Structure 1
């Protein structure tokens, strides 16, 4: 059945792509019709312009001059503001005569409160462009600040994803935003996603619209040389899950409903042939460079390759989407108790990359039946010999592959290592259920009982 379905999907693709002009419409016009319009039939690829290279940050001032920028809002966090990446940005702006103001209060793992503080700062300036220099938290915060600066009368929940907010489409014109990532993980520099902790429900949610995408991402591997060990580990596992979830997401032809207007096609559209290219690239890069980049922070080849992989994963997730690992991670991070990882300050926090990874073995055991071949291929790309493996073993093979990376890089023994126990599971499930945008991208539907078991199976993982 799976092979037959792939044949029909290919015929549909050929039918759409075939020239329909009178001279050619008599050939290649396979009459494979949709029995219902409840499923989509197309995907589209959107991403930021990407410029990659050692030292490319020095060009940002010229880019802003080329845009005609007169007054720039530069956003960062309290750590990056004193590091060399920030100095490189400000030196370039000063050299090119660009006026700017700096907001350095971005919160790592931002909340609705920290978003609102950044939005207030933006609204108090007369900015014509934005620059985000930092990790995913900085880029996501800057996207939100840009949006609400350009729509000053909007209520905060107007653009927040349903069912938490109203999920309104963005119709205002945003200011140009240039993103300069300093970590290798989120891929936020290429996506239309802005994620935050919504304090009222102790879970993450976000804003999703293509208008939020930065117009330019400057990918400068020099910035990765200052990233601490645990930040490199957790950021790398964020790439890991981005690639695996996008690769195994529901096929775009199975996602529905089809939009009434192409402008309404969602940001997350399901796996597709182009996003799969990026996912495969990332999995291969992880196999070759992930452990090297952590254990040898001065290995410029490894750190550069991980930096590029993060951006490529962003292209993939920004169009295909992520599913259960991320949907479950949001309440895991939002309900943190006393867990304080090394390299992340003194306040309790479960870094995003850790939160998404801890359930990954259970998730891919659960989803493997949807497409065993893809799950086995993912394991192979990550370095596992699958020559003697059966389709029925796909979930276990991929889960064991993931566990091997987690063990090698020192990830603790499941949710219990972060302070969670069996009594916490109902609260975590409650926080996952509103993540409709993510859960429906999973290749198999889930019940509340399924989510409960995935979390229970993740309490201890080794």
Structure 2
């Protein structure tokens, strides 16, 4: 009986997720569709996610999983800072207890580049590994995904699998080796997704690889690993969760995305908003609204840090299938064109605008812009984040969400716009140029946009408060 009640409640959630917004009004029609080849827009969506295991201290089970997989030669990837910290030590203790044969690669770059990806790929090719373990944030997990992909396709050119238009965007058809991801930050959700992002240095812009084949076999989510996070790292990671949830929930619906794939292998990982992703994205937003400020304020608040670790997973499931849009598309050149800004609490030897910060700085401007296309969703998101939307007008939805975000960011001591991280209006043409190739995500914005629109959005983001 309990199972039946749960099923009914889930169906009600899906029904509530539907929307009468201009961009979503026909999203969840039950009308029959012709075959894929007969439509210009898609007619189906596909849910994919890594297996997830959650629990305090669950990392101790890692070696047993490797033994169960029959792994005999394991690649352990992390970065130079994490290798000294408790999460990696916990993995090494597990390896030692169960006599796991492994080689360590600790040269992962925070905010990886094509060059750092290639260095890790070379290590993987030479190692002939039969399993991979990634211990770290999105940079480590994404690097490990790329190493697994190209070592399993040793004849492939690097650009073969990179997203178009920068790369060829070929589908992945070979089986990859098992990969266990042990996230140590609460932001990217990379332990759930088939996406690996990097800076393409030649263009000074971010791009990536997106394929369901890249998904980790298992995401081992141990909240104890979040207790080492400095405050600004916890905040910026949380901003990534925030934008993952907001962008996926407001993304173009899956059945308005084009083109319709002629073969399901060509259906993108980022498919547009859909009723299942909506549930995960909204749930992540609720958790973030309750716990992010606590998690930033008190690194020892295990309840808050644990909850944010789960929120990252939930948002990862949501955006990993629905996709993101303008905040992320515009963030890539913001991170890639960084001049001298060094983010507080990050142990790196190069200028860095952390990913979560680069994403959230444009969020007030972006959601002001997209508000008219799906006002109900913008209002609902604002309410979840604490706004009083009673008697508020639908036409003000974008502005209401933007003001709510400004208040939220101000309370978390976020830099005051792009100007505060080193950009001026003279940089806007380069920022726009760096956004244009990000069509994999920008095309999922619910509102069509031009280069002039992007220029205006960057200009509006120079100062937030």
Scaled by the length of structure 1, the TM-score of the pair is: 0.94
Alignment of 1:47-446 (within 5 A): 47-345=49-347, 346-446=349-449
Structure 2 Cα separation of the partners of residues 3 and 161 of structure 1: 30
Secondary structure of the 1:131 match is: strand
- The answer to which of 317-326 and 250-259 deviates more is 250-259
Structure 1 Cα separation of the partners of residues 27 and 195 of structure 2: 29
Q: CA deviation at 1:445?
A: 1.1
Secondary structure of the 2:255 match is: coil
Secondary structure of the 1:101 match is: strand
Secondary structure of the 1:291 match is: helix
Q: Is the Cα contact below 8 Å between 2:375 and 2:398 reproduced in 1?
A: yes
Structure 1 Cα separation of the partners of residues 200 and 394 of structure 2: 40
Structure 1 Cα separation of the partners of residues 129 and 38 of structure 2: 47
Structure 2 Cα separation of the partners of residues 242 and 4 of structure 1: 21
Cα deviation, 1:263-298, whole Å, max 9, x if unaligned, reads: 211100000111000111111011100000100111
Distance 1:33 1:264, change over 3 A: closer
Q: CA deviation at 1:97?
A: 1.9
Structure 1 Cα separation of the partners of residues 97 and 166 of structure 2: 44
Structure 1 Cα separation of the partners of residues 36 and 169 of structure 2: 28
Structure 1 Cα separation of the partners of residues 396 and 25 of structure 2: 25
Q: CA deviation at 1:93?
A: 1.6
Q: Which residue of 2 aligns with 1:12?
A: 30
Structure 1 Cα separation of the partners of residues 21 and 73 of structure 2: 56
Q: Is the Cα contact below 8 Å between 2:27 and 2:254 reproduced in 1?
A: no
Q: CA deviation at 1:388?
A: 2.1
Structure 2 Cα separation of the partners of residues 159 and 181 of structure 1: 24
Q: Is the Cα contact below 8 Å between 2:21 and 2:373 reproduced in 1?
A: no
Q: Is the Cα contact below 8 Å between 2:27 and 2:256 reproduced in 1?
A: no
Root-mean-square deviation over aligned CA pairs: 1.7
Distance 1:261 1:291, change over 3 A: same
* Higher RCO (CA < 8 A, seq sep 6+): 2
Q: CA deviation at 1:347?
A: 2.4
Which 4+ residue blocks in structure 1 deviate beyond 3 angstroms?
1-11, 32-36
Q: CA deviation at 1:94?
A: 1.8
5+ residue gaps, structure 1: 17-31
Distance 1:36 1:400, change over 3 A: farther
Of 448, 452, 456, the match for 1:453: 456
Distance 1:171 1:296, change over 3 A: same
Q: CA deviation at 1:341?
A: 1.4
Q: CA deviation at 1:5?
A: 8.6
Structure 2 Cα separation of the partners of residues 39 and 123 of structure 1: 39
Distance 1:304 1:66, change over 3 A: same
Distance 1:4 1:229, change over 3 A: closer
Structure 2 Cα separation of the partners of residues 37 and 272 of structure 1: 18
Q: CA deviation at 1:262?
A: 1.5
Secondary structure of the 1:207 match is: strand
- The answer to which of 337-346 and 278-287 deviates more is 337-346
Structure 1 Cα separation of the partners of residues 389 and 236 of structure 2: 27
Distance 1:171 1:11, change over 3 A: closer
Q: Size of the alignment, in residue pairs?
A: 446
